[in-house]
Amino acid sequence: MTVSRRFFSLGLGALTLSACSGVSAPTGARHSGGGGLPDDLRPVPNAGYDAWVASFRSRAAAGGISQPTLAAAFRGTGFLPGCVTRDRNQTEFKRSLEDYLAIAASDERITKGRAAFARHQSTLRTLESQYGVDAEIICAIWGLESFFGERRGDVPVVSATSTLAFDGRRGAFFEQQLMAALRILQNGDIPADQMTGSWVGAMGHTQFIPTSYEAFAVDFTGDGRRDIWSEDPTDSLASTAAYLAKNGWARGIKWGTEVGNSALEGTILQPQPGGPRFSVTRNFRAIKRYNNSDAYAIGVGHLADRIGGAGPLRASFPPDANGLTKDDRISLQQRLTANGFDTGGADGVIGPNSEKAISAFQASRGLAVTGTPSRALLAMLR
């Protein structure tokens, strides 16, 4: 069985990135230092949802889910309007690869990744030996999916999947995920009140959806539970290694490498015109089974290389559509912040915070408010 997680627009491969954050904006606060779930990810009354759940309970029971499991699973759950809003507002916009990698392999993520690798090196090397998947690749996926466990999500999975199943836009799929979640509960892998994840029901350190969990999760610690929710990431890391191994990973082959401008045989990618070129292998395609995005797979591979001690990419990226290089954009963010227009960090990625800061600066100077960076704006701030 092969399962692609691309459908969910998760992690960095989702391209739903927020500059100076982890992978995507945290869905909850338990593992990210905040103070709880957003209000729109808390249950609200919804008679239509309640009727749908009543009907679903009959289908679930006919599918082998016991009444005690159903009672525990739906205790305290409810309709989460934020899941519907986020699902309907997903867009397939694409950041440039330069922006993508600025987040995927940021200095902070590399530093945290090397520290996490050092802490869990014994486990990672054991998994590499058993499954054949490079230890650094496993660690990099962990970093992209949950910022090395810091952002695993606090949304109740049963509430999230039942809300999205009821909503109907992808109803059949989310009902499938809900049924899988109930089977996981019935199996005893996790108590119902501890089964949390993202707003689409992706769970644990490496963000497995319920059907992927059923297909690939591993009890590597031998405690009788495939516990991807624990503070101990061992089962999650092992499950990721198992996932890749069963989806085409070949032992002893690198994911790929950056190449120069000379002609080469094999699969050559240049995702951003004028930017770096990569020669990729079958293991690049195995990573894409985790998330079917070239940017995601390059992000995983490059972050893995950096965790392993490699340096930055050698090739440079061209100026963006506004004529600004990454250094220009960083300078713009720094100067805006210094002038009292906080961009939320200076990583060279122009996201919503930077656009808001630019707009505020433009308004303060009586300029047309566009929120768009430019060389003229940078010169004005110098």
Domain boundary assignment for the chain: 6-245, 256-307, 326-381
Residue 304 near residue 134 (C-beta atoms within 8 A): yes
- CA distance linking residue 243 with residue 380, whole number of Å: 51
- CA distance linking residue 148 with residue 195, whole number of Å: 19
Quote the distance between the C-alpha of residue 155 and its chain's center. 15
Question: Residue 28 — pLDDT band, cuts 50, 70, 90?
Answer: very low
The mean pLDDT value for 63-90 works out to 95
Q: What are 96-151's pLDDT values in tens digits?
A: 999 999 999 999 999 999 999 999 999 999 999 999 999 999 999 999 999 999 99
- CA distance linking residue 340 with residue 319, whole number of Å: 26
- CA distance linking residue 266 with residue 280, whole number of Å: 7
Q: What are 245-260's pLDDT values in tens digits?
A: 999 999 999 999 999 8
pTM of the model: 0.89
- Residues facing 279 on adjacent strands: 257, 268
Residue 164 near residue 278 (C-beta atoms within 8 A): no
- Residues facing 44 on adjacent strands: 79
Question: Residue 29 — pLDDT band, cuts 50, 70, 90?
Answer: very low
**Residue 256 φ/ψ, nearest 5 degrees:** 160, -170
CA distances from 51 to 159, 168, 313 (A): 14, 14, 54
Show the CA angle centred on residue 79, arms to residues 45 and 38, nearest 5°. Answer: 100
